Structure 1
Amino acid sequence: MPSIDLRQLRDTRKLKRWLRAGQTVEVRERNEVIGDLIPRPPSAAPTRLPDFAARLKEDFGDRLIPAVDTLLESRENSRY
């Protein structure tokens, strides 16, 4: 496992190369380990969302729901 001193953290090219290679890096201050830099595991492939439009068409067919008209009508008929 490579180790790096706090002052050497400025050399980000070397640090990035180690982390991209999957190595854990020890961070030291005066030969005392004060922490570890651990590379992030590779992310999984994004999950695909279901086809909502196809499900809507399957459930309701070509029927249109006049939501806006219904809302306006209910507002006109009710008191505020």
Structure 2
Amino acid sequence: MTAKVEIYTWTTCPFCIRAKNLLLNKGIDFLEYNIDGDEVARNKMAQRANGKRSVPQIFINDDHIGGCDDMYALERQSKLDALLTGNKV
């Protein structure tokens, strides 16, 4: 089973690009919400992300995992692949 991955991004955000590249390199499909200048979408993201308004904000199976640095930390801890295959860490 593959996890449902959602990522809120801005087009020119280097952290967003880095996060998406990690997912793409792993062959993971994800749903991207580009929120460039869209305050309504940003507010919706912040509600889901416990008030965080920075991008990217990443969700795996509707669980908020945080931003780019958080996802890379999971990767370094060898925990990301388990999440991406639908397993809990």
Q: TM-score, normalised by structure 2?
A: 0.27
User: Whose Rg is larger?
Assistant: 1
Q: Which has the higher contact order (CA 8 A, sep 6+)?
A: 2
Q: TM-score, normalised by structure 1?
A: 0.29
